[in-house]
Amino acid sequence: MKFAEEGNIDDLEAKVAYTGLCCYCGACGGFCTEYIRYENDIPTTDEKCYELHGACFDFCPRTFLPILEMEKEVLGGVRSDKDLGYYTEIITAKASDAVINEKGQDGGVVTALLTYLMEKGEIDAACISKNSDEEKWKPEPFVATSKEDILAGAGSNYEQCPTIIGVANAIADGKESIAMVGLPCHVQAMRKIQLSDYFDVGGSKVKYVIGLLCTETFDRDLLLAKLGELGVKIDDVKKFDIGEGKFKIFTDGGEITEKISAMKSCMREGCTFCYDFAAELGDISVGSIGAEAGWNTVIIRSETGKKLIDDAKKAGVIETKAMADDKIELVRKLASRKKTGNLKKIIEAAGAVKILNLAVDPSEMDLLL
Ligand SMILES: Cc1cc2nc3c(=O)[nH]c(=O)nc-3n(C[C@H](O)[C@H](O)[C@H](O)COP(=O)(O)OP(=O)(O)OC[C@H]3O[C@@H](n4cnc5c(N)ncnc54)[C@H](O)[C@@H]3O)c2cc1C
């Protein structure tokens, strides 16, 4: 990568872990189990590592992210849409199988595509998130190797999952053809791993990168406290969802809602620095905004993504429809809202920007340009 920077675990700690930028994607610790472990969802070390340039720094999406260069390399194009990134098509789709459609968070497209790839023998592992057996609703990286496994991970968990650890585990386990599902941060990390000039950890074994649209994830302790305020026990929750400006909690006793604006206090700090809503480097990106109930919004970006959607449609695994322009505009609006809000935080944290000898506070750039 042209804009690559070098650094080690000390730099990672100073620049990312202790500044609140860490998104807990799992990219640093997943491929360096010898030195890195996670404590309170940030990387830490017990032993001194003497590498001057580490994979931990190279793979982290929060150390450096040459997004336009990466977009060109991965997707073969340059964006004309600032909010959604490079894409060739936006459609709406749903799983044809009623069980998958029902079990999936929205239209079940992600689960349908993964089971299709697995049953066709195109992949031998799907790296997804699954709720812990020990702690209710705690998401954990999971390497699915069967349709049953994939179904067990269906549904959205609004906490952060260090999904890249699952990818590292799948590669370590000898898996040769992997699909991964991740939030924008996971997708960025996966692409950095694949594009690294210095470290080959087997990233090319990941053949399909399925991104999820994402506004934010919630900090577990803050979410549990919020549920307490709302009188909800985590053990009773059957499903969480976000839609129509509300955070929805489904229990046997009924549906409890909270305004999404009131959930901002539960947001993980690392998410406030994220400048990607639409998982801009995925082969496809999947969400719900703009789609009717029981359907997904699908952004097709790469040739791999296009072929996957066309093949799955031909095989009858998914149904698709064109997406109306006003619905696509809703997706764009939500992306823009996230980016505009988070850019303020990024600028505040950045301090002066230096271009050759010219140093200027980013908020005052318009005074010069
Ligand atoms: C934290 C979060 C925030 C989101 N925010 C938005 C939003 O603002 N707007 C929008 O339109 N859509 C958002 N989505 C996407 C939406 O909730 C659905 O995941 C998406 O529409 C796919 O639906 P589906 O029915 O195909 O999913 P399914 O078929 O149910 O598959 C979902 C897949 O996502 C994986 N997964 C679940 N939780 C996580 C997680 N925390 N980290 C990584 N992988 C996970 C599951 O393992 C599963 O494989 C968000 C999802 C998450 C997890």
pLDDT one-digit tens code per residue, 91-112: 999 999 999 999 999 999 999 9
Q: Are 279 and 182 in contact (CB under 8 A)?
A: yes
363 Cα–ligand 1 center, Å:
34
pLDDT at 348: 87
Of the residues 23, 41, 101, 156, which should be mutated to test ligand 1's pocket, given the most ligand atoms within 8 Å of the CB? 156
190 lines ligand 1 (CB under 6 A): no
Atom from ligand 1 closest to the CA of residue 158? 1
Nearest CA to ligand 1 atom 1: 158
Atom from ligand 1 closest to the CA of residue 157? 38
pLDDT tens digits along 216-269: 999 999 999 999 999 999 999 999 999 989 999 999 999 999 999 999 999 999
Cα angle value 137/142/143 (rounded, 5°): 160
The 8-class DSSP code of residue 192 comes to H
217 lines ligand 1 (CB under 6 A): yes
97 Cα–ligand 1 center, Å:
19
Burial of 236: CB neighbours in 10 Å, binned 0-12, 13-18, 19+: middle
Cβ neighbours of residue 118 under 8 Å, at least 6 residues apart? Answer: 124, 126, 144, 145, 146, 147, 150
Atom from ligand 1 closest to the CA of residue 290? 11
139 lines ligand 1 (CB under 6 A): yes
pLDDT tens digits along 109-119: 999 999 999 99
pLDDT at 336: 98
272 lines ligand 1 (CB under 6 A): no
In the chain, the percentage of residues whose pLDDT exceeds 70 is 100
pLDDT tens digits along 286-319: 999 999 999 999 999 999 999 999 999 999 999 9
101 lines ligand 1 (CB under 6 A): no
Of the residues 105, 115, 292, which should be mutated to test ligand 1's pocket, given the most ligand atoms within 8 Å of the CB? 105
Structure tokens belonging to residue 141? 């990286």
